Amino acid sequence: MRIRSGPRLTESVDGYIHSVETLGTVDGPGVRFVVFTQGCPHRCLYCHNPDSWRLKQGKLVASADLLDQIENASTFLKRARGGVTISGGEPLVQPKFIASILRGCKEMGLHTALDTTGYLGSKLSDEVIADIDLVLLDIKSYDPETYRCVCGTDIQPTLDFARRLEQLGRPMWIRFVLVPGLTDARDNVAGLAEFAASLKNVERVEVLPFHKMGEFKWQELRLSYKLADTQPPTPEALEEVKRAFSSRGLTVV
């Protein structure tokens, strides 16, 4: 049953999605309706959704249909102090599609979050960014060579997007995945910690331990998983990296 009280103002745009999660609890505050979009320019070594890389291998949907689903859950989402998160893949591969979803969510009075690497941040206008209440910015590494090794792309567009968000006053959570032997070098961690501390809009830093939960998908897709022999970081290593951020005045989880 639809509960729309009046005509929707935002224009419907077709786009490709990987999946949706209706009770997400790790992609922003409260309980979230999470839209995982399809398509990504990165080829991260530890990606847990390599099946989301290619745009047209996803499900083609209209943003209006997604907004109908979101609207049906909107009362619950508000009571749960949650909202809607657009994740991926990389959402900014489809800027018009996500702009339509964001605008529709704001018309409903819902909190919005965008989970992104920021690599394609230049595709978003300031007007669209104004519809984003929180950016979950994934910074895979600070050292440029390590970043290219991890993602296959350059780090600078991500750093530029972070600075732009600061200038626009948009709240941001930084996410960093700790991979032993790859992203755990002290200089790399220290560089990212210094950068994060220099931004006035960073509300928290999430240090996430590497895991291999998506390895089976690589096998199903007959892709070479180069981190098969890499183990998750020890609790001690994780705490040491968290201290590198907290020692600079950042809230760390």
Residue 164 in any domain: the answer is yes
Residue 8 in any domain: the answer is no
pLDDT of residue 8: 72
Residue 7 in any domain: the answer is no
Residue 61 in any domain: the answer is yes
pLDDT of residue 246: 98
pLDDT of residue 214: 87
The enclosing domain of 136 has a CATH number of 3.20.20.70
Domain total for the chain? 1
Residue 6 in any domain: the answer is no
Cβ atoms 130, 164 nearer than 8 A: no
Order across the sheet with 172-178: list the strands: 59-62, 14-24, 32-37, 83-87, 111-116, 134-138, 172-178, 202-209
The DSSP annotation for 66-132 comes to: HHHHHHHHHHHHHHTT-EEEEESS-GGGSHHHHHHHHHHHHHTT-EEEEEE--TTGGGS-HHHHTT-
pLDDT of residue 9: 77
In this prediction, what percent of the chain has a pLDDT beyond 90? Answer: 94
Express each pLDDT in 106-126 by its tens digit: 999 999 999 999 999 999 999
Express each pLDDT in 172-198 by its tens digit: 999 999 999 999 999 999 999 999 999
Express each pLDDT in 139-182 by its tens digit: 999 999 999 999 999 999 999 999 999 999 999 999 999 999 99
In this prediction, what percent of the chain has a pLDDT beyond 70? Answer: 97
Does residue 69 register a pLDDT over 80? yes
Identity at 30, one-letter amino acid code: G
Residue 95 in any domain: the answer is yes
Domain containing 82: what range?
Answer: 14-246
Q: Which residues contact 70 (CB under 8 A, 6 or more apart)?
A: 33, 77, 84, 101, 104, 105, 108, 110
Number of neighbours of residue 220 by Cβ within 10 angstroms: 10
Residue 99 in any domain: the answer is yes
Residue 251 in any domain: the answer is no
